[in-house]
Structure 1
Amino acid sequence: MDKVAVLIPCYNEEKTIGKVVKDWKKELPDAMVYVYDNNSTDNTVELAKKAGAIVRYEHSQGKGNVIRRMFREINAECYIMIDGDDTYPAEYGKNMVELVLHKNVDMVIGDRLSSTYFEENKRPFHNFGNSLVRGSINRLFHTNIRDIMTGYRAFSYLFVKSFPVLSKGFEIETEMTIHAVEKNMSVENMIIEYRDRPEGSESKLNTYSDGVKVLKTIGRLYKNYRPMNFFGIMSVLLFVLSLILFVPVFFKYLQTGLVPNFPTLIVSGFIALSALISFFSGLILSEIVEKERREYEFRLQTIEMSKERIVK
């Protein structure tokens, strides 16, 4: 098992990957630096090897797929995940390792948004998207994560081996953050400086399509982790809609003794029934989620025991 593993997912980063690898080997000389190539068509692989990195491959396209491969293959007491675009300085690495190895922190989040991100990043829609996602998650999950979509993080062995990677693309950071919050893992924010991409280096993030995927992921995870809240809101909305349709028909009946809009009454009844079903679905699913949380805590004990065996 490695003491510290630096994991760098890469796709066409020949402009920067050599410098990134060298910076990390200088900052953490005893760490193992892994570059996971994701079908690059430029000289990323050659330059990473030349700089001294161990290069491995993931052929299914998408950052989430790369992270799934990394987390499965690498065993380490502390993991640092960093993008290969040279936007994150390596000098924060030692402090991150210190938090994971000696303070028992499960995930350290490199917080760009509290420092230079909005000045350095020249893509205004990225800035808006980061703020929107941060605000949505902090409100929905009652937490205070300062940078949801940062690619600069450190993890414990416990987090990496207990995290089920479901996302395929850039929504993976959102999934990681919500997983840590919902599983009551120890999370620390660390303010870092952010550098914009150097000239000639292009972002792989599509502002619109990836933004929609991130918002869908937030909705999916909110439904999965907080089903009573999710289905409770749906139940209330459906019940209100049912009342809007029912009240005019009811008052007409009180005035005339007739039901002139019988189809509207039927639709109102079905919507009210849907509201009731939604409410009880939330109740049942919340019990299932609570049971899964208890089982998850037992799985963490098994992971800790497996770590001890590997270290020995």
Structure 2
Amino acid sequence: MLEKNPNPSVAVLLPCYNEEVTIGKVVRDFKTALPQADIYVYDNNSTDRTAEIAASEGAIVRKEPRQGKGNVIRAMFEDIDADVYIMSDGDDTYPADAAPAMVDKILEGYDMVIGDRLSSTYFQENKRPFHNFGNRLVRGSINGLFGAHVTDIMTGYRAFSFTFVKTYPVLSRGFEVETEMTIHSLNNNLRLFEMPIQYRDRPEGSVSKLDTVGDGIKVMSTIFRMIREYKPLPFFGGLGLVIDIIGLVLCGSVGIDFVHTGIVARFPTLIGAVMLVIAGLLLIVTGIILDVMAKNDRKEYILNANQIAFLKRSSHQ
């Protein structure tokens, strides 16, 4: 068994946009919960005193000009080196006192710890019914596709290992990044641990940046895109099978007419049906080819993760 690092470095990552009402308390809470941690506040073009207040509380403040939470997380993962990462929000909706237990789980060997809001107080605290519906819809679709049992797909409170952070490709630009993280982890069979946390709604005076409809569309488009990329055989194969069935039914109807009359009376229907069958077969073949490529990508990811983990262990020796 590998020896644990006796003095692991911990980084708390707080992406922020106009959070002057709450950021001071959030930084203080994490300093109390994780006194040994470095707390990073990445200011994403705030127009208020978010950066100033965070700096006055002792946080390391940096700027990220590319708008969007996904862009901020991408910059954080590129810039910051630590043994354990805690990602939270600057709106004081997540409890900092859960962070030490999340750190412990990463040190035990988990790749990502998920702060599970939905098993505790989320549905009582969150006053936005469409958000609750969206969480259930996303959870059901992803768990069904990957055969998983993740409770909170979209939580912004997570802990990561060094290997996860340095091998995870951040593609999303906005709030859909949490969904992308979960799909990425399930697709690559990473070690996940869900920890129930006490969620609380934003305090008075703090305004949510979420757009229920707009962000919901982005999340669903992200799921659609990642299903297409990570599960190409069910995606293209299922679509091709449906098209083939339609084409064969049309071919069968023309064939029945031919048996009864001895002539092909509907040439356009026959031609269209044959083209549908061919198109369906091409989609199935495409799904098979892309599925092989997706498996090779997973193999490459495992090799890269092993290399990163080896280099990390070597640096501690």
TM over 0.5: yes
Partner of 1:143: 148
The aligned counterpart of 1:56 is 62
Matches within 5 A, 1:130-209: 130-209=135-214
The 5 Å alignment of 1:88-103 reads: 88-101=94-107, 103=108
Q: Which residue of 1 aligns with 2:3?
A: none
Residues in 1 aligned to 2:149 and 2:14: alpha-carbon distance in whole angstroms: 26
CA deviation string 1:150-183 (max 9, x = no partner): 0000000011011001111111001100111111
Determine which of 7, 25, 33 is the counterpart of 2:13.
Answer: 7
- Determine the C-alpha separation between the residues in 2 that align with 1:27 and 1:131: 31
Cα distance between partner residues in 2 of 1:133 and 1:295: 28
Structure 1's unaligned 5+ residue stretches are: none
Q: Which 4+ stretches in 1 moved above 2 angstroms?
A: 243-248, 308-312
Residue 79 of structure 2, aligned match among 68, 73, 97: 73
Output the TM-score relative to the length of structure 2: 0.95
Displacement of 1:53: 0.5
Shift of 1:290: 1.7
Does residue 246 of the first structure (1) align with residue 246 of the second (2)? Answer: no
Please say if residues 2 and 31 of structure 1, whose CA atoms lie closer than 8 Å, have aligned partners that are also in contact: no
Q: Post-superposition shift, 1:244?
A: 3.5
Q: CA offsets, 1:73-99, max 9 Å, x none?
A: 000000000011000011100100000
Instruction: Determine if contact 1:2/1:32 at 8 Å carries over to the other structure.
Output: no
Q: Secondary structure at the match of 1:199?
A: coil
Contact 1:28 1:94 in 2 (8 A): yes
Which deviations, in whole Å up to 9, do the C-alpha atoms of 1:6-65 show, x marking residues without a partner? 000000111100100000001101100000110000111111111111001110111100
Paired residue secondary structure (1:36): strand
Shift in alpha-carbon separation, 1:2–1:62, aligned structure 2, 3 A? farther
**Sequence identity, in percent?**
55
Structure 2: stretches of 5+ with no match in the other structure: 1-6
The worse-fitting range, judged by mean Cα deviation, of 286-295 and 69-78 is 286-295
Aligned-partner residue type, residue 255 of structure 2: F
Asked if residue 212 in structure 1 is aligned to residue 248 in structure 2, the reply is no
Query: In structure 2, what is the equivalent of residue 45 of structure 1?
Result: 51
Which residue identity does 2:90 align to in structure 1?
G
Aligned to 1:122: 127
- Which residue identity does 1:110 align to in structure 2? G
Distance (Å, rounded) in 2 between the aligned partners of 1:91 and 1:219? 35
Q: Aligned pairs, how many?
A: 311
RMSD: 1.3
Q: Which amino acid aligns with 2:185?
A: A
